[in-house]
Structure 1
């Protein structure tokens, strides 16, 4: 049995910053995430995509943001349980009992759900036996763009991810962008850029086409695409990328007795506590009047949720508000040397 003050479910930016806020006020926490690395959607889907709205950081990638947040919590020695999913949550006396699918058991005074929009996985191509190509020459997210250099890539999708990666990879690869409709759902500036690249001969654009089949033994050699009117074309491809969005699953959270509203959890705006005392929700998964799904909003929510946990972990103590610039206790926890 693992005993700690708080268990954070979700290792995305919001969960990581919340761990920092818990450490500042002297609370211990551990983090569980169903992905194989910290960073959430930022690192899983957009590691190289620039982010422009982090306070005091004019521009950074999802990977840079994640690495800086991990560096920020290093003094607190936060333990991660990756590739794990919380299955059981129940109240035991004044604590919460939590069990994961790997049979790790926790007893904690509070739980903070920072799980984005729940467990998620990419929508996949509806083709039989396509799994043999996955993570070799077929991908639903990009972790290392260098493997695509000087290759021919067929990208399927019409949203921001498909457009952004088509633009990015066109600098060093031959790109086929295939979308099932004429119109795109991504940002207009990206749509305009893709059409400009097509005009300049740097990208091939196929609209009203869908995937028909994939050819190859161990790796992909070509893809067959089918037009709405029945025409079939075969395109040489070394790699295939599919960007069809994510399938959102709340999973076991549905059974925890929380107030749910369209796959989000209702919280107050004082502590971001749910209807279950001692369970908090922050980030994209929480809902309240005026909610903005921004990383900076999640940071604010995490700071208040951390302080809401204090009364459960230290019921006989009063939490004093202190600034890190002047608080000796906070500076000692951070390892600041004078």
Structure 2
């Protein structure tokens, strides 16, 4: 991190320090562009670092499996090859286009200037979907969890996981050799997770209960048991439960981004094939974007980041080449 005056104009202001934002900053360095990363979190890595550092990630090329924490660490190592100003715990409130090739980004702490902006804010402001039971709040932090940061904390426990997506299935498989027992409860009869992961789940020792709803939680000072009911018959099953992990996804919103004058579609930023938004000079990459055929995968964000950077480079300097060629032809040192 360099210490020059943060009001100096940089080439690219990158809003968001998750995987897409970190890779965008690295690639900006590859294009010999100056850059800043601005993020509201206390550390780089976005959701990967904040919510599930021990979760395996499977959609990154070259890694059959890599934990979220290790992936963030690798991205930090990659980013260290170039000077980059990192401003953490700053919430971006406004993005103003002062003139062509000059943007002012106002945070709750400071003001930053850049010739182009790349928004890589993940899913925007987010919070987990809560378990809708009147007693749920009483067990928050006392056996009821929405995130996992330490797998070993569940050693020897009876664990119940709710959900049918990749997170629920992956956590079930990762906790099976650690916990005393793992039960996966899903509200539907089909899973949204990747087919290979579901196949592994069905071959594992995880107890799988589909078409079931969580009906009640029990325990004195902390969670001790839970009751689920069949959506078909109404028959109830009571299970011992030291920890209940709820993976119902997130409720997200663009927050202040929705007020910046950028075209938004169903809660995401609309971009073209150059990853440019409706405002020339403002680009976006990662889960926050939308376009026909968009997939919200880390691998996709890693592809969108260089596209955004290369086109931002041309926006800043119309004489610049869109692509410098393959990275194997470039010298990093």
Per the shorter chain, which TM-score range?
0.7 to 0.9
Displacement after TM superposition at 1:325 (Å): 5.8
TM-score, normalised to structure 1, is 0.81
Decide whether the 8 Å contact of 1:132 with 1:218 is kept in 2.
Answer: no
Superposed CA RMSD:
3.1
| CA spacing shift, 1:83–1:141, aligned 2, 3 Å | farther
| CA spacing shift, 1:167–1:59, aligned 2, 3 Å | closer
Decide whether the 8 Å contact of 2:129 with 2:251 is kept in 1.
Answer: yes
| Aligned residue in 1 for 2:91 | 85
Indicate yes or no: 2:212 matched with 1:209.
yes
Task: Tell me how far apart the structure 1 counterparts of residues 287 and 80 of structure 2 sit (CA, whole Å).
Answer: 25
4+ residue runs over 6 A deviation? none
Displacement after TM superposition at 1:18 (Å): 0.6
Decide whether the 8 Å contact of 2:135 with 2:217 is kept in 1.
Answer: no
| Aligned residue in 2 for 1:305 | 308
TM-score, normalised to structure 2, is 0.82
Map of 1:1-338 to 2, 5 A cutoff?
2-5=7-10, 6-44=12-50, 47-94=53-100, 95-100=102-107, 102-128=108-134, 130-173=136-179, 174-197=181-204, 202-228=205-231, 229-269=233-273, 271-289=274-292, 291-310=294-313, 318=320, 321=324, 331=332, 336=333
| CA spacing shift, 1:124–1:259, aligned 2, 3 Å | same
| Aligned residue in 1 for 2:3 | none
Secondary structure of 1:234's aligned partner: strand
Task: Tell me how far apart the structure 2 counterparts of residues 307 and 313 of structure 1 sit (CA, whole Å).
Answer: 10
Where do 5+ consecutive residues of structure 1 fail to align? none
Decide whether the 8 Å contact of 2:214 with 2:229 is kept in 1.
Answer: yes
Task: Tell me how far apart the structure 1 counterparts of residues 105 and 206 of structure 2 sit (CA, whole Å).
Answer: 50
Cα deviation 1:210-262 (Å, max 9, x = unaligned): 22332345532222334444444432221110011122312222222222233
Where do 5+ consecutive residues of structure 2 fail to align? 1-5
Displacement after TM superposition at 1:46 (Å): 5.2
Number of equivalent positions: 323
